[in-house]
Chains A and B, each alone.
Chain A
Amino acid sequence: MSIDLYSIYLSDYMDNVYKWLEDQGIKYIALNGYVAIRYTIRISNNRIDLVKDSVDQMIKVVLSNGYNVMTSVIKGLYEDYKSVLENVVKTVKSSKRGIKYTPPSNKIELYDVYPGGYDPSVFNVNASIDYITHFMDDLSEIFERVSGSISIKGIKHIIKTSYGREGEYKLTSVLLNLRGFKDKGFTYTLNRAATSLSKLNYDSLLEEAREYASINYNVEHVEESVHKVIFTPLAFSNILYYLGTLLSGYSIYSGYSPFIDLLGEEISSKPINIYDDPKEEGNPYPSLFDEEGIERRRVYLVKDGVLSSYILNILYRGVFKQESTGHAGPEYPYPYTLILDGEHMDVDDLFNEVKEGILVTNIWNTSFANIREGTFSSTQRDIGFYIRKGSIRGCFIGARLNMNIIDVFRNLIGLAGERVWVKPWDTDLYTKSNLVGVDNIRVTTGFW
């Protein structure tokens, strides 16, 4: 059973739509075409309970006549695209004020992502079913039961613009998200993203599961206190996601981001880097250009601890007098992937530095009490561990971490261990980081 990303129909369809848009007198056109194959194998309580798949084509247009921008996504390529796009064109033509829209004028053609960024072997569903079945069996020896999924995507992205940008690339992406359950609320999530099954590193994941599951202490409700906290890559991904959205030019321009007026300021207590690089080898969601045809590249948002860029598309580059960072997203500039790096410690050194604190393996349900000030809380999702005298001593559930997104980075203790690619269930951003230590986090709980 093997399929591939192939569509003659989409090319013809795009040609027709592009010509029609040109005939309407639209000044700036970016026309994106996608072919996507997706499937998910979902398991619960040690059983596969669903296999779902889809084969789709879609187009997305980004249009402007010089002010503001209008987008339209059409999934389901009927011949009647005009019924949707006529309204779009009407709005674009009537837009005579707002933010100036000026695409770059140099011609660039972009083809192919990094070697290994597209691996058609992922479309072999039988291999994926075998993979997840073996994983389930191996994890069943470690946990009482396992739930979760493996999700696989193959996407071809084509672009044609009125300002000389065109290109095409293909990607494949695999996301493993398996949650093991032991008794008394002990759960642990194995989460990893890659461009193929073989790059998930089965043995290392199994070892990670064994390591955490073998920590045998009575599960208690967390003690309320102010703690030093070590976040696993999965737990810190949630924070990186919100950091990314709050660094979008839209959230800065609209006035609700806590990072307003901090460009060029030192925002971290450590000389960390936070950047996006969809062309970096190993990125599980590679990309060559954004939906305005701007090349993806390494963009530092934080460089040596200093806030160095916002996330921009063509529209917001005008506001911030910078080049687009290649982040044209669904409607606003949006983080694509994020990588945290910096000087690493040994894991033991980080634990010794923390000495007394907690290790959090997964958080979710992040909710902002005051988004402009950056105050929020996140809820513990999987098992947490007490750190006493630099070693793990005891485990807990029920924690809620009261944080401020600026203080998280101002109170960094350090980074340690291997950096891995993950994507939590409740965000849509792939991130790469290692263990991250943060000081001064107030922990509360509803179990009191």
Chain B
Amino acid sequence: MVNPNDLAEYMVEYGLARNFDIVIARYQNVIAYNISIVNGEVASTSINRTNGLGAKLIYKGVNIHTSTNIFSFESVKNRVEEALAKAKAYSKGKFRYVTFYEVESTDISHVVKEDKPFIDYKDELISDLMSLDDEIKEYAKIDVLTRIFNIHAFTEEKYITTSEGVKVYSKIPRILLHYRLVSKAGDKYISRDGFLGGSGGIESIEYESLKSDVKSILDTMYNIAFKAVNIEDGEYNIVIGNELSGLIAHNSVGHAFEADRVLGMEGGQLGESYVSKNDLNNVIASEEVNVYDDPTLPSLFGYYLYDDDGIQTRRRTLIKDGIISEFLHNRYTASIYGIPSNGSARAESYMDEPIVRMGVTYFEPGDRGFKELIEEARYGIYIKNVSEWSIDDRGVNQRYVGFEAYLIDGGEIKNPLKYPVIETTSNIILKSVKALGDDLRLYPLICIKGEPIQRIPVNIGGPHILITKIRVLRR
């Protein structure tokens, strides 16, 4: 059997021989296990392996991505020849001239260890989830008709080699648990989805944390069914929980700060950005706000150290003291700005070109305790988490429907509220931040972008945050 890393090297070598200016070749092998447990029974299992070779090739400014999973030198040669023919064909038309910022050679190997490898401990995880299923039935004060646990464990192995001498090998196992609960009270149903996960083995699924989250959902379902009241439409001070602050960091900052969106290169796909190319150093949020994207934080779902252009990543400061500090770049967008890439190029599989993506995006915590935030809000709403969220394709017009939510009155948490809806804009929400809590929690998320859509593991998060004078509607 041919060593796929040798084929990646051959792709670079042959690409240079055929006069490509830059070749970034990647062998990418993903093995994924999916197990679905429905109402206490394993309903389906699958094991999938996706491996192949992909390469970004630049020929006289023309940008080509080619890939194959036929592992032979002949196949690689054919792909490069096809790439050259395509490059020549489209260089005659209206194409965007692409250059890449230069990088230095490197040779790195990086492997994330699993304390409890999924393959060896999956039965333990399934058994825990079966026990949790029993506990749900015992604990809930309401009929929980549907209990679904979907386990998605996948290990991504990559070898990246470039015409500039960059060689990066990495192997990162990740696990994501998605759960869905549906309960019934009278003729009304209540549903809620949740996620937990990280990089590593099954230790990424902290059972006690999962149990606590699930019990909290069950209590909230009971409250929505029997105790919660509607809120009057109006402007409120709102304390938002970690999950919601993470969604805002992801939607209003992370996506909007992806340089390819800023430059209009995702216009037909995920969309453009409300932030423009020349907005760097402009005020975008209240001065309390600092937002980072840091894929180097260990054990997280969005963790990585080298991106798919072979560039070492780092913590990216997106907003500092309310001012736009930095955008997310791959080598292509960085070259347009005349700066080095900050390591944001990611591809879902060997078939996909690495595009600008987030890793771990979060609001930096402040100094307030949770109680202080509630006291400071005086009268308003506490939205701990949400059941529905969406945003427009420029990252402006957004909506979050509260799931666990309470009235705040006299600086104290009072009765539960039924589905309060925040519908506002990024400009308003970022400038309305008054105080940030000292807690930080991060959540896993699968983020979509590209053509065809590429699904990438990321984290979102933040502390509890007090935002003021935000319009709230009843659902």
Tell me the B51-74 residues at the A interface (CB within 8 Å). Answer: 51-52, 54, 62-71
Stretch of A39-47, A194-202, A352-360 that contacts chain B: A39-47
B405-424 residues with Cβ-Cβ distance < 8 A to A are 419, 421, 423-424
Contact between B189 and A373 (Cβ–Cβ < 8 Å)? yes
Asked if B390 contacts A48 (CB within 8 A), the reply is: no
Bound form: Cα–Cα A255–B87 in Å: 51
Complex: how many Å from CA A376 to CA B389? 10
Residues of chain B lying within 8 A (CB to CB) of residue A378: 390
Closest to A425 in B: B269
Shortest distance in angstroms between B79's beta carbon and chain A's nearest beta carbon?
7
Known: A76-B71, A147-B264. Is A379-B96 also a contact (CB below 8 A)? no
Of the candidates B79, B82, B98, B271, the one whose C-beta lies within 8 Å of that of A49 is: B98
A205 CB within 8 Å of chain B = no
> CA separation between A52 and B93, bound complex, in Å?
16
A74 to B46, CA, bound (A): 11
**Which residues from A are CB-within-8-Å of B180?**
256, 371
Please encode chain A, from 52 to 94, with 1 for each CB lying within 8 Å of some chain B CB and 0 for all others: 1111111000000000111111111111100010011001000
Question: Which residue of the partner chain, among A1, A91, A148, A181, contacts B82 with CB atoms under 8 Å?
Answer: A1
Residue of B nearest to A378 (CB): B390
Contact among A69, A147, A370, A448 with B190 in the assembled complex (CB-CB below 8 Å):
A370
Cβ of B43 under 8 Å from chain A: yes
Q: How far is the CA of A366 from the CA of B392 in the complex (A)?
A: 11
Q: Let me know if A391 is at the binding interface, CB within 8 A.
A: no
Given contacts A125-B86, A379-B391, contact A76 B66 (CB under 8 A): no
Q: Which residue of A lies closest to B400 (CB)?
A: A367
Pair A47/B94 contact, Cβ less than 8 Å: yes
B388 at the interface (CB under 8 A from A): yes
Q: Is the CB of B268 within 8 A of A177?
A: yes
**Size class of the B contact interface (CB-based, 8 Å):** 35 or more
Of the stretches B28-36, B203-211, B237-245, B285-293, the one at the interface is: B28-36
Is B282 on the interface with A (CB-CB < 8 A)?
no
Asked whether B44 lies within 8 Å of A331 as measured between CB atoms, the reply is: yes
B172 at the interface (CB under 8 A from A): no
CB-contact partner of A72 in B48, B75, B188, under 8 A: B48
Q: Which of B67, B79, B189, B268 contacts A179 (CB 8 A)?
A: B268
With CB as the reference atom, state the residue of chain A lying closest to B271: A381
Contact of A133 with B48 in the complex, beta carbons under 8 Å:
no
Instruction: Kindly specify which of A111-119, A292-300, A439-447 makes contact with the partner chain.
Output: A439-447
With A70-B45, A72-B47 known to touch, is A126 a contact of B353 (CB < 8 Å)?
no
Judged by DSSP, the binding face of B is strand
Contact assessment for A48 and B93 in the assembled complex, using a CB-CB cutoff below 8 Å: yes
9-residue interface stretch from B103-111, B308-316, B377-385, B446-454:
B446-454
Q: Is the CB of B64 within 8 A of A51?
A: yes
State the CA gap A68–B189 with chains docked (Å): 28
B148 at the interface (CB under 8 A from A): yes
Chain B residue nearest to A315 (CB atoms) is B44
Q: How large is the interface on A (under 10, 10 to 19, 20 to 34, 35 or more residues)?
A: 35 or more
Say yes or no: A400 contacts B47, CB within 8 Å: no
A53 to B396 alpha-carbon distance, docked (Å): 33
User: Given known contacts A58-B69, A425-B453, is B64 in contact with A69 (CB within 8 Å)?
Assistant: no
Q: Check if B445 is an interface residue, CB within 8 A of chain A.
A: no
B43 touches A51 (CB 8 A): no
Cβ contact within 8 Å between B70 and A55: yes
Q: Residue on A with the closest CB to B421?
A: A444
- Taking the complex as formed, is A309 at the interface, i.e. its CB lies under 8 A from any CB of chain B? no
Contacts of A253 in B (CB 8 A): 38
Let me know if B38 and A254 touch, CB within 8 A: yes
In the complex the two chains form, is A147's CB within 8 Å of B39's CB? no
Interface membership of A211, Cβ < 8 A? no
| Known contacts A53-B86, A56-B52, A425-B269, A80 near B29 by CB under 8 Å | no
In whole angstroms, how far apart are the Cα atoms of A301 and B421 in the complex?
34
Q: Is the CB of A84 within 8 A of B31?
A: yes
A206 within 8 A of B: no
Asked if B471 is at the interface (CB within 8 A of a chain A CB), the reply is yes
Is A262 at the interface (CB under 8 A from chain B)?
A: no
Residue of B nearest to A448 (CB): B471
In the complex the two chains form, what is the Cα distance from A446 to B426 in whole Å?
9
Contact A1 B44 (CB under 8 A): no
A373 touches B423 (CB 8 A): no
List residues of chain A with CB under 8 Å of any chain B CB: 1, 3, 9, 38, 40-58, 68-80, 84, 87-88, 91, 95, 97-99, 125-126, 129-130, 133, 136-137, 145, 147-149, 151, 177-179, 181, 189, 250, 253-256, 331-332, 364-373, 375-381, 398, 400, 402, 425-426, 428, 444-448
> Interface residues, chain B, CB within 8 Å of chain A?
1, 29, 31, 34, 36, 38-39, 41-52, 54, 62-71, 75, 78-79, 82-83, 85-87, 89-90, 93-96, 98, 119, 145-146, 148, 180, 182, 188-191, 263-271, 351, 353, 387-393, 396-399, 401, 419, 421, 423-425, 428, 448, 451-453, 471, 473, 475
Q: Would you mind naming 23 contact pairs between A and B with Cβ atoms under 8 Å apart? A: A44-B96, A47-B95, A50-B64, A51-B87, A54-B66, A55-B70, A55-B75, A68-B43, A71-B44, A125-B85, A178-B268, A179-B268, A253-B38, A256-B180, A370-B189, A372-B182, A373-B189, A400-B423, A402-B475, A425-B451, A426-B448, A446-B396, A446-B397
Q: Which 9 residue pairs spanning A and B have beta carbons closest together? A: A148-B268, A147-B267, A255-B146, A76-B51, A52-B65, A372-B189, A369-B388, A76-B69, A446-B397
- A sample of 16 more A-B contacts (CB under 8 A), given A149-B268, A365-B392, A447-B425, is A1-B86, A48-B93, A49-B98, A52-B66, A52-B67, A56-B68, A71-B44, A76-B50, A76-B69, A77-B71, A98-B41, A149-B451, A181-B267, A367-B388, A377-B388, A448-B471
